[in-house]
Structure 1
Amino acid sequence: MYSMTTSAVHTPRSPVTRKDVARYAGVSTAVVSYVVNGGPKKVAPATEAKVQDAIRVLGYRPNAAARALKLGSSETIGLVIPDNSNPFFSLLAHAVEDAAAELGYALLLTNSDGNLAKERRNIRNLASRQVDGVVLASVLFEPDLEALESAEIPAVLLNHGGNAPGFNSVGVDLAAGAKMAVDHLIGHGHTNIALAMGTNVANDFDRREHGWLQALTAAGLPEGPIVRGDFTRSGGYAAGQRLLASPNRPTAIFASSDMQAIGILRAIHEAGLDVPGDIALTSFDGSAEAEYSWPALTTVEQPVRIMAEAAVSALVGTSRGQEPEQRIFPTELRIRQSCGCGVPGASGPSRGSTT
C-alpha cells in the first residue's frame, strides 16, 4: 500500500501580492502602486522597469475588485450596440473603446442584435456589475433606462438624434444629412428618387425619411417610391429587387444605411444594370465598406470618433456631472462614384456638410 509522505504533498501556491513585487524589485509597496495605477506620483524610468520586471517574473495580477472597492469605481463603462456585425457599429464601438482607454477605463461591450428584450437584459447585466456608466446605442428612439436610473448609473444615448430629457445624448441631424444626400442626386438631374428605409423596433418615424421628403418638396418633385426593410445587406438586397420590379422604376435611390446600399448594389448588378449609369445611389453612415464597394458609395458620413469622445466625456471625462445636454454634430457628404460623380459626362454639387 502506497503511503503519501508530507514531502509528496504539494500545497497550493498563494497569490502573489504587492509586497512580494516590492520585495523582489527592492522598492516600497507605494512605488509598486504608482507603477500599477499609473500614478499619482511619477516613478523614475529605471525604477519602473524593475517593478515591471518583477511583475512579469512573479506573475502578479492586481486585484481589480479590491481596487474598485478602494476607489469607489470599477473603472469600467458599458456599451450596448444593436449589431456588432455592422461595420458602422464596429467602428463606433472601437472609437468608444479608444476614448475610454484614454481616460483609463475598460469597456464592456454588449450586442442587442436589434432586439429590445436583449437590449434591456444587457442594460440590467451592466447595472448589476456596477459599471461607472453606460453608453447606449438603442434600438429605440426613446429607450427604457429604468434599470440604470434605479442603480444610479449614468447613461449617454449614442447615435441618438432626438431629444432625451434628463439624459446626455450624442448624435447627428438625420434629416439634414439625408436631405444633403438627396439634394446631391437632384443636382445630377434625377427627378424620380426612391427611398430604401430601414425599420426600427417601435416603427417610429425616422428623420432620414423626413430629410428625403424635405429635399423632394423643396425641389418641387413628386414623392418617389418607398421600400422598408432591415438595416442590413439582405434588407437592402430585398429592397433593391422590389424597386427594380416597380413599373415606375426610379433613376436614383437613397438608402438609409450603407449596409442597405451594399445589398442594393448587388440587386442592381444582378439585374444587368449599371451604377450610376442606370440607377444612381447614395447612402448614410460612412462605414469603411462604403469606400470599398464597387462603385464606391457616396455616403453621409457621421463623425464617429468625435461622437464617441463626447459620449465618454459625458460619463467619466471633463463633462461628467454637468447638466445633461443634447449634442448634435454635423455630417459630411463623402462623394465617390455611385452618385455619378467622377463618371464622364456627370455633374453635381460639391461636397458639403450639415449645419
Structure 2
Amino acid sequence: MSRSSSSSPSRATRNDVAKLAGVSPAVVSYVVNGTKRVGPDTEERVRDAVAKLGYRANPSARALRLGSTEMLGIVTPTTTNPYFAQLAHEVEAAAAKRGYMVITSSSDSSIATERVQLEQLAGRLVDGIFLCSTVFEPDLRNLDIAGIPIVLLNNSAGVPTRDSVGVDLLHGAHLAVEHLAEHGYDDIGIVIGGTTGDEEDGRETGWRESLERLGLTPGPIARGSFTPDGGYEAMRRLIRSDAVPRALFVSSDQMGRGVLKAAHEAGLRIPEDVAIVSFDGSLDAAYSWPTLTTVAQPLAEMAEAAVEALLGPPHERVHMVVEAHLVIGRSCGC
C-alpha cells in the first residue's frame, strides 16, 4: 500500500537546520549559499545538520526574495566545437565569480533553433543571456519585451542597439596573411566558412585587404561550413581542380583539421607543399599534426567583458573589440 501524502515526512526547513546545528537561520544561509564566511567549526555543524536532515534550499523562494534567479544563459552555434566549448567555460568561470550559474545550450547553427533556445531560457527566468548568434544582427524583440538583457558574444561587427563583444577579425586576418607573406609565400588562398545570413566574414575582408596592401594577387577561395568536414571538402575541391596555392589562410581551426586530412590523403606535405595559418587558437590547433599556426582569440578576456556588460552598472551601449594574437605552430614553416 502506498503511503498517503499526509503521512509523508515534511521537507526540512532552514529553521530545522539552524535548530539542529545550534546557529541562527541566517548562518545557515551563509553556509548553504556561500554568501559570507563563518568559522570552520560552525560551518561543519551546519553541513552535518544539512546532511542529516536532507535539507535542500528552495531556489524559487530564494529567487523571489532576491528578485533574481542568479542564473544566466548562453546560446552557442554548437557545443561540439572546442572553440565554443572553451568560450562557454570561460563565461561560466567569469559568472561564477559573481555568484551566477550559467545554462548552456546550442542552436545547431539554425536561426529557428536559436529562437527556440532563447524562448526556453526566457521561460526559465534567467537574469540575462549571452548569444553567439548565427547571424550578425539577430531579431531579439521578444527578449526586449520580456525585459531580459542580452549581450551578443563572438560578434565582431557590433550592433548599435546591443552590447556586444567580439574579436577584431580584420586584424586577425592581417596577422595571418602578413605572417605567410613574411615567409615569402606570394600565392595565398583562403578556406572560409559561410555565415547563415550570407554576410561577408571579416576574415575574408581582412585577407583581401592584406593582399592588396602587400601588392599580391588573391589566391583561390574555397568555401565550406565551419566544421572539419567543411574544411576537408573545401580542400578536396582545390586538389581536384589543381588549384592548391602555396599557402592557405583557413578561417577556423576546425576547418584546419579537415584541410590537413585532405592534404595528407593527397600526399601533400605541410608546410613543404602547402603552408597553413588557421583561426581561433583552440585545442584543435595544438593537437593537430603538424600543429597549426593559428590566430588565437583571447576567450577569457572576451568572457570577462561580456559578463561585465551584462551584470555591471548601467552604461551606454558598448561594442568591445579585442585583439587576437598569433600562436606559432609548425604548419606555416616556422
What is the TM-score of this pair, normalised by structure 1? 0.91
**Does residue 109 in structure 1 map to residue 97 in structure 2?**
no
Using the alignment, how far apart are the partners of 1:11 and 1:256 within structure 2?
A: 64
- Deviation, 1:9, is 10
Among 207, 228, 237, the residue aligned to 1:233: 228
Structure 1 residue identity aligned to 2:33? N
Using the alignment, how far apart are the partners of 2:122 and 2:159 within structure 1?
A: 20
Q: Secondary structure at the match of 2:295?
A: strand
Using the alignment, how far apart are the partners of 1:61 and 1:247 within structure 2?
A: 65
Listed one character per residue, the Cα deviations across residues 166-211 of structure 1 (whole Å, up to 9, x for unaligned) are 2111111101101110111111111111111100111111110011
Listed one character per residue, the Cα deviations across residues 26-52 of structure 1 (whole Å, up to 9, x for unaligned) are 11212112222323x542221111111
Using the alignment, how far apart are the partners of 2:314 and 2:5 within structure 1?
A: 56
**Does residue 78 in structure 1 map to residue 73 in structure 2?**
yes
- Deviation, 1:320, is 3.5
**Counterpart residue number, 1:35:** 31
Structure 2 residue identity aligned to 1:160? N
**Does residue 220 in structure 1 map to residue 225 in structure 2?**
no
Among 196, 200, 221, the residue aligned to 1:205: 200
User: Residues 249, 53 of structure 1: CA spacing in aligned structure 2 closer, same or farther, 3 A cutoff?
Assistant: same
Using the alignment, how far apart are the partners of 1:227 and 1:201 within structure 2?
A: 17
**Counterpart residue number, 2:296:** 301
Listed one character per residue, the Cα deviations across residues 132-170 of structure 1 (whole Å, up to 9, x for unaligned) are 000000000111111211111111111111121121111
**Does residue 340 in structure 1 map to residue 333 in structure 2?**
yes
Identify unmatched segments of 5+ residues in structure 1.
Answer: 342-355
Using the alignment, how far apart are the partners of 2:134 and 2:68 within structure 1?
A: 28
Among 55, 58, 63, the residue aligned to 2:53: 58
Using the alignment, how far apart are the partners of 1:193 and 1:245 within structure 2?
A: 18
230-239 vs 319-328, greater mean Cα deviation: 319-328
**Does residue 325 in structure 1 map to residue 318 in structure 2?**
yes
Q: Secondary structure at the match of 2:285?
A: helix
Give the count of matched residue pairs.
Answer: 333
Among 85, 90, 94, the residue aligned to 1:95: 90
Q: Contact conserved, 1:95 with 1:308, CA < 8 A, in 2?
A: yes
**Does residue 23 in structure 1 map to residue 16 in structure 2?**
no
What is the TM-score of this pair, normalised by structure 2? 0.96
Among 126, 129, 141, the residue aligned to 1:131: 126
Using the alignment, how far apart are the partners of 2:164 and 2:96 within structure 1?
A: 21
Identify unmatched segments of 5+ residues in structure 2.
Answer: none
**Counterpart residue number, 2:137:** 142
Q: Contact conserved, 1:137 with 1:159, CA < 8 A, in 2?
A: yes
Q: Contact conserved, 1:82 with 1:111, CA < 8 A, in 2?
A: yes
Give the superposed CA RMSD.
1.6
The alignment-based identity, stated in percent, is: 51
Q: Contact conserved, 1:123 with 1:147, CA < 8 A, in 2?
A: no
Structure 2 residue identity aligned to 1:47? T
